[in-house]
Amino acid sequence: MKSKTEYLKFRTAKRIEFVNITREVEKVVRESGVKEGLALVNPMHITAAVIVNDEEGGLKRDYARVLEGLVPYGGEYEHNVGEDNAAAHIWRQLMGHQVVLPVTKGELDFGPWEQVFYCEFDGQREKRVLVKVIGE
């Protein structure tokens, strides 16, 4: 069995941002040498999520609008003592924490529109995403 662990590092420009990391994850998969296996993509921050969906601006704006409607960023939360990011923690749970992606013939095995996104809900600082590829 082969494995490779890589940490993607970047800085988000906005507090709420959807960053397409598909190319970076594909690169880690290629470098791993794994032909058949799985790739785990995990945001290493408790106010972020990783999802698979379509690269479409309206969809990303819809996500932010719906999340804000469900859990308003400016709402009153017990966590917001010295911080103001309780909504970001809750948004992360609603979006899902991490994804496991299939690797087939050395490539991510996606549907036609699927892309990998790092979803930041309390950004504007250095961020890390763990990519771990395992398989044969």
Hey, where are the domains in the chain?
2-135
DSSP-derived letter for residue 112 is T
Q: pLDDT of 37-88, one tens digit each?
A: 999 999 999 999 999 999 999 999 999 999 999 999 999 999 988 888 999 9
Percentage of the residues of the chain whose pLDDT score is greater than 70: 100
Is the domain 2-135 a CATH 2.60.120.460 member?
Answer: yes
Separate counts of helices (H) and strands (E) for the chain: 3, 8
Q: For 7, list phi and psi in degrees, rounded to 5.
A: -115, 115
Characterize 70-106 residue by residue with b for buried, 16 or more Cβ atoms within 10 angstroms of its Cβ, and e for exposed: ebebeeebeeeeeeebbbbbbbbeebeeebebebeee
- The pTM for the full model equals 0.95
The pLDDT of residue 83 is 83
pLDDT of residue 78: 92
% of the chain exceeding 90 in pLDDT = 93
